[in-house]
Amino acid sequence: MSLKGHWYNELGSELVLVIDGNDIRGTCRTTVGDAPGVYRVVGLTDEAPSAGTQVVAFSVAWDNERGDLHSVTTWSGQYRQVDGDEVLVTFWARTLETEPNSDEQPTQVGKDLFRRTKPGYEEVIRRLQMGPGSHPLCVATWDSPSHDDEARSGLAGRLTLQ
């Protein structure tokens, strides 16, 4: 049982974790939204977990060499083994910087499920239709190539943000 390594959420965003004692560090690369590039991940975990489960918390400040998106996401949850499949079941809170007198809700919350394998086309589209994700995301549409089978096999196509 180990948290380290590659993980993918339902949108296909990649999380790479390195564990040192109870410290978590790594990278996050999104596949959708307004967050191109690689972002730094920091967090903590239980150094002596129970059998079959381990608590985890990690954060990403959406600021890298490509720009500052003025938001931070924190995930908190559990590593589990379900029917032989490793999963990270997490809840997230994403907070955006807003103007001091703004009525805009600065914090959104939701759930992410990370697995060791990248999701398929249908799962990504279904998740996009469910609403906002854990990273900065505008309204998105998917333009697939003329051959749907090719698009579904490897997420070929283009995601357009409005």
Model pLDDT for residues 103-160, shown as the tens digit of each residue = 888 898 989 999 999 988 788 777 777 665 655 543 334 444 444 444 444 444 444 4
pTM of the predicted model as reported, rounded to 2 decimal places:
0.76
Q: How far is CA 59 from the centre of its chain?
A: 10
Q: What is the pLDDT of residues 22-34, one digit of tens each?
A: 999 999 998 777 7
What is the mean predicted confidence (pLDDT) over 39-51?
91
What is the overall mean pLDDT for the chain? Answer: 81
- So what's the pLDDT on residue 124? 77
Residue 2: band (very low, low, confident or very high) from pLDDT cuts 50, 70, 90: confident
Q: Which fold has domain 5-118?
A: Lipocalin (2.40.128)
Please choose, from the candidates 94, 44, 96, 98, the residue with its C-alpha nearest in 3D space to the C-alpha of residue 73: 94
- So what's the pLDDT on residue 47? 86
What is the mean predicted confidence (pLDDT) over 56-62?
96
What is the mean predicted confidence (pLDDT) over 56-75?
94
- So what's the pLDDT on residue 144? 46
Does residue 110 contact residue 133 with C-beta atoms inside 8 Å?
yes
- So what's the pLDDT on residue 76? 97
- The DSSP call for residue 106 is -
Q: Which two tokens stand for residue 111?
A: 């759930």
